[in-house]
Amino acid sequence: MSLARIPLAAVIGSPVAHSRSPRLFTHWLQTHGLPGHYVPIDVPEDKLAETLHLLPQLGFVGLNVTVPYKEKVMQIADSVSDRARLIGAANTLIFREDGRIHADNTDGYGFMQNLQQNAPDWDPASGPATVFGAGGAARAVIASLLDVGVPEIRLTNRTRPRAETLRADFGDRVQVFDWVQAGNIVEGCATVVNTTSLGMSGKPRFRVPLDALTRDMLVTDLVYSPLETRLLAEARAQGCTVVDGLGMLLHQAVPGFERWFGARPEVDEVTRQIVLA
């Protein structure tokens, strides 16, 4: 009599020891009383393809992907979802029973679920959105903002060509501005999003002037270490609706967990505290 394999999942990247995902997934597995394990795996770049093809044979059902492999895994996967293709990066891999690898991106889903949970009165159609940054996270954010009806994206990045690439990909609802104008373009916006690493622990400060913030704006920062960034602290002082970045991390993990382990987990205050501990 053969015993069913215990499902395994992991987060891969390099480095990956800092990831909070193992704490999150272990909490959810315990909460639902499910068999399974979730581990961090630091994969050398020259072993990436070999590792992705080996893990399904060892009982792995899927992976979360972090830097620097979000783009590279798309070239190895057998199929790629439309949203991952649009964003140009994958953060979730599903290993099918036939051994094929499916790549998806749940960052935009996580971003939007975080806003809807923590700012339920937010109306995306009420005005333009300012987006700071033009990396992979910005692509996911812009795609999801446009999808829910934000009329205009004002995009600025420290290197303008990267922002211009996003405008070319997403169309005329995205307008690009030089970084020196970053403080000015906030004026008249309904939504303000920082997708850069500025303000993160160990990174340069977020120095954009924030005089144009007004209390009718929603302000969110994808940085969650520290949880209260300078951007969020100043926005809160101005009376803005403020949403921190931890919820995006939690919500983007929900679809993968459900697919791999067969239960849909809740993102609640207990979950937040477990991951923050």
User: How many angstroms separate the CA atoms of 124 and 118, rounded?
Assistant: 14
CB of 243 closer than 8 Å to CB of 119: yes
Q: Which residues pair with 211 in a beta bridge?
A: none
Q: How far apart are CA 23 and CA 20, in angstroms?
A: 6
Catalytic residue among 47, 70, 72, 203: 70
Tell me whether residue 47 is one of the annotated catalytic residues.
no
Supply φ then ψ for residue 67, to 5 degrees. Answer: -60, 145
Half-sphere CA count of 247, side-chain side, radius 13 A: 19
Between CA 276 and CA 266 the distance in angstroms is 16
SS3 87: helix
Which stretches of the chain are assigned E, i.e. beta strand? 8-13, 37-42, 60-65, 79-80, 92-95, 101-104, 129-132, 153-156, 174-177, 191-194, 218-221, 241-243
Closest CA to 213 of 193, 188, 180: 188
Q: Is-contact 23 80, C-beta < 8 A? A: no
Please give the biggest Cα pair distance in the chain: 69
Look at residues 62, 73, 57 and name the one whose alpha carbon lies nearest to residue 39. 62
Residues labelled catalytic: 70
